[in-house]
Structure 1
Amino acid sequence: MTVNVHTPEQIELVRNRARSIGEMFFNRVKETPHREAFRYPDADENWHSLTWAETGDHVTRLAAGLVSLGIGAEERVAIASGTRYEWIFADLAINAAGGATTTVYPTTVAGDVAYILADSGSKIVFAEDDEQIAKLVEQKAELPAVEKVVTFDGATDGDWIIGLDDLEKLGEAYLSEHPDIVTERVAATEPSSLATLIYTSGTTGRPKGVRLSHDGWTFEGASVASQGILSVEDLEFRWLPMAHSFGKVLLCTQLQIGFAAAIDGRVPRIVDNLAVVKPTFMGAAPRIFEKAYGRVVGMMEEEGGVKLKLFRWAEKVGLEHSRLVRAGKPVPKALAIQHGIADKLVFSKVRDRFGGRVRFFISGAAALSSDVAEWFHAAGVLILEGYGLTETSAGAFVNHPDRFKLGTVGHPFPDVEVKIAGDGEILIKGPNVMLGYHNLEAASASALVDGGWLATGDIGEIDAEGFLRITDRKKDLFKTSGGKYVAPSHVEGVFKGVCPLASQMIVHGNDRNFCSALITLDPDAVAMWAESHGKSGQSYTDIVLSPEMEKVVDGYVKELNSKLNQWETIKKWAILPNDLSVEGGEITPSLKVKRKVVEEKYADILNGFYA
């Protein structure tokens, strides 16, 4: 069932959206030319601003430059770079020229880069630096279609490799003879035209290219805008990979509404940047919130004494207050007074870590622990969880500040339909659903069923108020040899809520007679713990594998088991000597665990649990 929560005004806004990303962008430039569009740091960590008019000029020249190099309608241009304002300029220019962006994560190995570029038929590649250029040079023989490389920071050769400034100069020269070329290309772009090819980071085999239209992206921007939760006065901090669909949704929402965005994709700089930028909202993957939660709780536990007692008292008061507010029940006067004290002494300091102005965060890309979400709400930090896939242009569901339910992903966007199949799989239909997989007809046919319904591969349920709750990935659900089904992400989420040291937990047990787990610990939390336990200076591996740490984690596993059904409990577990990483191929750039990769890599440990 789907509960309709949208007003006629919301639906009208969505249905009267721009025809293309190019039209949406130039509409924004025309409407608010002198407002700030983007903010970015230089090498000395000083921040600089660009207006929409300045951005429009850059994008127009870059788009004309691409046309001068022969880019035609729906022809692919790749971007191999981390998140930075130049990524966004390149992407907008590609779409304004009528082309389609192929996204490449900067962590992608050379062989996979060659596969993506060849499969997509990309003719031009924007390469961030010498590291990305080296991959292209190494695979050049496999890339006959790549005619030109445009680099942001790398060395140029004046021929195959040119700089971003060089492309702008080509565009400027082309515009002097064809002044209306970009306007003409934007007008010629249809809503159904290909805008983006995003290659999913598959856990097995080659990644699949997801074909996403202009119509899907303009729908996303208009849909988020229709929620009425953001305005032109907001300031976003954007660190998410622009190569991920979540990053593109944030960009399209910005084009629709016109707020400014501070751009810096360096994950280690997130906390420092938040303090400087002081954003009003941010989109993030759950790992960022879990890490922040673990750091705050860990610091208090290491502090001990009176400060820890005060913190625990504030937590208790905050959670009691949060539960009453979310249930729509009155808050007793005594509790309200206590909450005011707790907020002043404890929770305000938590909010200050995020710059002090955040109205809410938007969490997506993976499941957020409901315990972590509740803890943040108790601290006065609202995390609105949403849901979607690359195949739905990212967003399909989201909670609303005035209408949310923790542990759910909210209601569907306007004009998005949802139903639950007989086996519990979530099926989605709407303007944001992909055109199909690139060069993969059979895979497209199996994903798009019964006249355009997308089979998401996720298991879920819709409650009486229309909120969608995700249970797990269909392929991740497993049955023990005793015949009991286990949703590993549920168990893992509970663990992250009880263990502030946790980075990842991978629950295992398919066809086994009990559940086991591999555990990794957060390096920052481990360093903090080591300092107060006489182990500072020791290696991460020595600390996490020490008997003292094993005893600490054992206590958290016992606490976890007390919250689970008997068949879900973790009977055996091991701490891994290293945290999972993108570079190690164990997690995706959007910080999702590649479960099969981890299980294969540590098969000896897992098999040993059952020997």
Structure 2
Amino acid sequence: MAVDPRKQTSLHCLFYWADQAPDRVYLTQPYPDGRVEDITWAQAADQVSRMAAHLNSLNLPERSNIAILGKNSAHWILADLAIWAAGHASVPLYPTLNGDTAAYVLEHSEAKLMFLGKLDGTADGWNDIKGHIPDDLPLISLPLSPRDDTPTWAGLIADNEPAEPKLPDPDALATLVYTSGSTGRPKGVMHSFRTMISVADGLQQLFPVSAEERMLSYLPLAHVAERAAVETQSLYYGFHLYFANSLDTFQEDLQRARPTLFFSVPRLWMKFYLGVNAKLPPKKQKVLFRLPILGSLVKKKVLKQLGLDHCRAALTGAAPLSAEIIGWYRNLGLELLEVYGMSENFGYSHANRPGQAKVGSVGQANPGVEQRIGEGGEVQVKSPGQMLGYYKNEAKTREDVTDDGFLKTGDMGEIDGEGYLRITGRVKDLFKTSKGKYVVPVPIESRFNHPQAEVVCVAGANQPQPCLMVLLSEEARATLATGVDRAGLEQELTEQLDAVNASCEAHEKLAFVVVVKEPWTMENGMLTPTMKIKRNVIEEFYTRKMDEWFGQGKKVVWEF
């Protein structure tokens, strides 16, 4: 199949659905005061056209780059579309950036204007970012913006008549996606409208997706994962998109959306899993789940409480998720499918197909994608979603793309006889012990599964053996803070350590487990905006303590 000629770009899709289903709701936005706003396809197209008229009136240089800063919201999507309708390219900024990085992105992208969206300074970087916004950068406030001294979306919509949209050339630059910067300065990945829409074109050959779907948008839209899986898909297929109000209302927002398709990252799948464990301990689960009729009812109740009882396909990506956790969800009746992609190919690379998944793999190459293993075991991919290059960085583009057009992913992997790809680690994650032996952290981390461990990180560069740092779940940390005896948990962690070491080579065996005190968050720089661990930041933070920990000679070290 090929892209529908009536839906060549995401902007084409907006006006297609406004014509075909004008009164059907496209976007549902909750507000802090409890109000919920529904925006139909016709209303979305009208607002986008009016904002495009305003942007046209500013006489910005042709093909300007226009920034969007804010958490996910209906108007984030509308701003993205309005930028395109005025003939410009969008530059999303992560709302959790620090001020220095935000200033860098605005300067590097040469942004001529910025849409300022949903921010409050509590779970985002606004308090730092606001002092780094250039004084001469024009701003437009979306609903829920922290500024009240700028032109507003609502005001400009009211003041402008709809402009005739400039439907873009599919090969024109659509957006600059700045990488999450797990190491060094973020790079501006250039995507055309064609590379963006390729993910929807390919998906229709893998999943039966229709306009009847429902999705909840809550992972950062500044990242390609959410932009591809949620924004682009909803526009192409014409389905209903819901947004979350806040972390505190997330469960309520999920219940409102009752998603039929759900995309998340391993950290959140783990949080859901640990939340269920806190209410229904694993030992009790095993007993109940085995009961013929009651077991089925309990599983359905768990899915309903998670808000996923209507979900027929759930995706996980951005980082590895252990086979044990995937198996737990499948036992509940939720087919959790691992997918794989990068900013550089707009997330369009590999996926496990419904009914054909191999747990532990990221699936087979998507339609139109070529894969191979290059030098040093590195995965190389050529995708229809492949970037145009890095913005103002031709040298890095040449470094990361082979002469025959394959992207060097930076991931190590293996391809089996049926074409399933298994990611075995990051090329840059390898480290050497003081004995001169290389350790690959990811496979070891994936084997450490304790029902109260939220996230783990293998470290130990230049030490005799690697060790493993464990961040306990919020519930477990709260319980320990009350002063309960931790001997039982220590015994369980010791047993899990021994089980992992039993399957490790001698040089990989973990010397000990460290239960860390400091939570790993986006705010303290230890997680990327898609909740992957920033391994180099974590290692640097704890490196000064390594000698002391090794000197204790214990299997479990408590940092608190």
TM-score, length of structure 1 as denominator length = 0.83
C-alpha RMSD of matched pairs (Å): 2.5
Match of 2:108 among 119, 137, 142: 119
> 1: distance between equivalents of 2:258 and 2:130?
41
- Would the alpha carbon gap of residues 402 and 133 (structure 1) be closer, same or farther in structure 2, given more than 3 Å must change? closer
Q: Could you tell me which of 138, 144, 156 is aligned with 1:147?
A: 138
Shift of residue 136, structure 1, vs aligned partner? 6.3
Q: Which residue of structure 1 lines up, in the alignment, with residue 507 of structure 2?
A: 567
TM-score (norm 2): 0.90
Q: Please give the per-residue CA displacement for 1:207-265, whole angstroms capped at 9, x wherever unaligned.
A: 11111111111111222233233221111122111111111112111111111111126
Using a 3 Å threshold, how does the CA distance of structure 1 residues 464 and 516 change in structure 2: closer, same or farther?
Answer: same
| Residues 282 and 90 of structure 1, relative CA distance in 2, 3 Å threshold | same
The alignment status of 1:311 with 2:271, answered yes or no, reads no
Identity of aligned residues (%): 31
Deviations for 1:295-336, whole angstroms, at most 9, x for unmatched residues? 2234333xxxxxx65522355x5xxxxxxxxxxxxxxxxxxx
Match of 2:407 among 448, 454, 470: 454
Q: Find the aligned partners of 1:211 and 1:143 in 2 and give their Cα distance.
A: 27
Q: Per-residue deviation at 1:584?
A: 0.4
Letter in 2 for 1:387: Y
Counting only pairs closer than 5 Å after superposition, residues 116-265 of structure 1 correspond to structure 2 as 116-128=105-117, 129=119, 131=121, 138-140=131-133, 142=134, 144=136, 146-154=137-145, 161-172=150-161, 175=162, 179-180=163-164, 182=165, 185-186=166-167, 189-249=168-228, 250-264=230-244
1:600 to 2:540 alignment = yes
> In the alignment, residue 373 of structure 2 is paired with which amino acid?
I
Distance 1:166 1:47, change over 3 A: closer
- The residue number in structure 2 matching 1:50 is 39
Q: Which residue of 2 aligns with 1:59?
A: 48
Report the 3-state secondary structure (helix = DSSP H, G, I; strand = E; otherwise coil) of the residue aligned with 2:512.
strand
Whichever residue aligns with residue 30 of structure 2, its letter is P
CA 1:266–1:464: 2 relative to 1, 3 Å: farther
Distance 2:34 2:334 in 1: 27
Matches within 5 A, 1:87-98: 87-98=76-87
Name 1:395's counterpart in structure 2.
348
Greater share of helix: 1
* Pairwise CA distance, 1:473: 0.9
Question: In 1, distance between residues paired with 2:328 and 2:453?
Answer: 16
Q: Does 1:514 align with 2:465?
A: yes
Match of 1:375 in 2: 328
Letter aligned with residue 524 of structure 2: G
In the TM superposition, what whole-angstrom CA distance separates every residue of 1:149-197 from its partner, at most 9, and x where no partner exists? 4343346676xx211113323532xx4xxx43x1xx21xx222211111
CA deviations 1:356-402 (Å, max 9, x no partner) are 21112111111111211011111211111100011111231111213
Secondary structure at the aligned position of 1:95 is classed as helix
Closer, same or farther: CA 276–136 of 1 in aligned 2, 3 Å: closer
1:441 aligned partner: 394
Cα distance change, pair 309–451 in 1 and its aligned pair in 2 (3 A): closer
Cα contact 2:97–2:129 (8 A) shared by 1: no
* Preserved contact between residue 88 and residue 174 of structure 2 (Cα < 8 Å): yes
Aligned equivalent of 1:503 = 454
Deviations 1:265-312 (A, max 9, x none): 6344333322333221211111111111122234333xxxxxx65522
1:90-144 per-position Cα deviation (integer Å, ceiling 9, x unaligned): 111112222111111112122211111010011111112575776666235x565
Say which SS state the counterpart of residue 160 (structure 2) adopts: helix
Match of 1:347 among 293, 299, 319: 299
2:463 corresponds to 1:523: no
In structure 2, what residue type is equivalent to 1:351? L
Looking at structure 1, the residues matched to 447 and 4 of structure 2 have their Cα atoms a distance apart, in angstroms, of 40
The equivalent residue for 1:3 is none
CA distance in 2, matches of 1:486, 1:15: 47
Unaligned runs of 5+ in 1: 1-11, 302-307, 318-337
The one-letter amino acid of 2:519's match is D
Is contact 2:348-2:383 (8 Å) kept? no
Task: Report which stretch shifted further, 36-45 or 424-433.
Answer: 36-45
Shift of the 201–265 alpha-carbon distance from structure 1 to 2, 3 Å rule, reads farther
Contact 1:21 / 1:95 at 8 angstroms: preserved in 2?
A: no
Of stretches 27-36 and 407-416 in structure 1, the one that deviates more from structure 2 is 27-36
Matches within 5 A, 1:267-286: 267-286=247-266
1:225 to 1:565, Cα distance in 2 relative to 1, 3 A: same
